[in-house]
Structure 1
């Protein structure tokens, strides 16, 4: 039987936040041009490192130095209404993730073998996760 989904230390047992973080790290690890960052993100995803280890690394800070100014400029260009809509969509997405994992756990407990959801880029509007870096 499958193990329950692991929550990241920084998610404070919030499954939606943890799943969103997992998917975001998967995208970032795949798209980063920095091999050190990719390795660290993979180590966090495997459970070999914690999120706090990643954020304390030079590779993480170098990545932030490159991408955060662009992401902030994108965010600042949004209207208040667009920011609110984006925040609401993100909350719904995380709630949906947590709900789908609960349904998956129920199905596994009943002996079913549910399909895993396809990986997807959670930032459909651009920004860090969909950038070419």
Structure 2
């Protein structure tokens, strides 16, 4: 592998899973307005810390939990057909991760965020969260 990925060991040698995780941490690093969350994502990307290490950080754990909850709410709002299409696209993209090793994460993210495959289904924010609003991280 020409681009060493510090997440390859965590992914047990699965290059697609490692690349997917690397891309997710890069998105967090680029989009979070919280310097602490960005720093933790950077540590994972630099190989200074592993995903388990940063998930033990209370702020990062809350960040991930809130992100997952928001994503699940978006998925639940989809029709069965749109969920099926989303699952099919996700599987196809996962299979093609290795083919896009040289693509910039921002380019991949724009491709993933393109809702055109939903034929106007309205699911426009897949994986395109604005992490600037810290209030959704607060306890109820």
TM-score range, shorter chain: 0.7 to 0.9
Which secondary structure does the structure 2 equivalent of 1:33 belong to?
Answer: coil
Hey, what's the Cα distance between the residues in 2 that align with 1:4 and 1:36? Answer: 25
Deviation digits for residues 5-47 of structure 1 (CA, Å, limit 9, x no counterpart): 4543442321111111111111111111221111010000011
| Structure 2 segments unaligned to the other structure (5+ residues) | 114-123, 132-140
Question: SS of the counterpart of 1:78?
Answer: coil
Q: In 2, Cα distance between the equivalents of 1:40 and 1:117?
A: 23
C-alpha change, 1:65 and 1:15, in structure 2 (3 Å) is closer
Number of residue pairs the alignment of both structures matches: 118
CA separation of 1:42 and 1:13: change in aligned 2, threshold 3 A: same
> Root-mean-square deviation (CA), in Å?
2.4
**Gap regions ≥5 residues in structure 1:** 102-115
SS at 2:91 equivalent: helix
How much does 1:48 deviate? 0.7
Which residue of structure 2 aligns with residue 111 of structure 1? none
Q: What is the CA distance between 1:69 and its match in structure 2?
A: 2.9
Q: CA deviation at 1:68?
A: 3.1
- Measure the CA separation in 2 of the matches of 1:97 and 1:118: 12
TM alignment of 1:41-56, pairs within 5 A: 41-56=41-56
**What SS does the aligned partner of 2:125 have?**
coil
Pairwise CA distance, 1:92: 1.4
Say yes or no: does 1:67 pair with 2:67. Answer: yes
The SS at the match of 2:21 is helix
* Residue equivalent to 2:125: 126
Structure 1 residues 117, 123: closer, same or farther in 2, change over 3 A? closer
User: Bigger relative contact order, structure 1 or 2, given CA contacts below 8 A and separation 6+?
Assistant: 1
2:34 alignment counterpart: 34
Deviation at 1:4, TM superposition (A): 4.8
